[in-house]
Structures are given as C-alpha cells and as structure tokens.
Amino acid sequence: QLHAGASERAFEGEFLKNELGAERMEGRAEELGERAEEVIEGFYGRVEEQVERRSDELCDAARARAEGARRAVRAAQSKAQAAVERAEAQRRAEAKAAKAKA
C-alpha cells in the first residue's frame, strides 16, 4: 500500500506537470496563431495597397492616352472642316467665274 501511494503521487505529479506543459503549449500555439494572422493581414494589406496604386497608375495613364486621342480627333476634325470650307469657297468661286464667263 505504501508503494501504491508513492506511485499514485508520482503519477499525479507527472500528470500535473504534463497538464501544465500542455496548457503552456496551447497558450503558445494561440500566440503563434494570432501572430500568423497579423503577418498575413499585413501582407495582404501591402498587396492591396500595391494593387490599388498600380490600378490608379494604369487608370491615370489610360485617361492621359484618351485625352491625347480626343485632342488628335478634334485637331483632325478642325483640319477636315477647314478643308471642306476651302473646297466650298473654291467651288463658289469657280461657279461665279463660270457664270461671269457665260
């Protein structure tokens, strides 16, 4: 019986030691899990910022190209309108000259 009591105390002591160790490991695992979440959130936050910045850059560049194209179209329209007006003036002058000649 004396030996049985000593074995029980040793078992209980070892059990308590293992239980405390398991609790420490559980706490450490929770800390590591929280830290991992923070690292992941930080990483994706930086990725999101880079994607937004690059998207803004691409949009700005597209707007600039579109504005350049609009200016080129307006310039071409102005040239075409001027050519039409010159052709119309020449046609009227030729018609007037033909009428005067007749």
* pTM tops 0.75: no
Q: What is the pLDDT of residues 53-76, one digit of tens each?
A: 999 999 999 999 999 999 999 999
Please report the pLDDT score of residue 2 as a whole number.
46
What pLDDT does residue 4 have?
Answer: 54
Percent residues over pLDDT 70 in the chain: 94
pLDDT higher than 60, residue 23:
yes
Which 8-state DSSP code applies to residue 23? H
Q: Is the dihedral of CA 25, 28, 34, 39 positive or negative?
A: negative
Helices and strands, number each (H, E), in the chain: 1, 0
Mean confidence (pLDDT) of the chain:
93
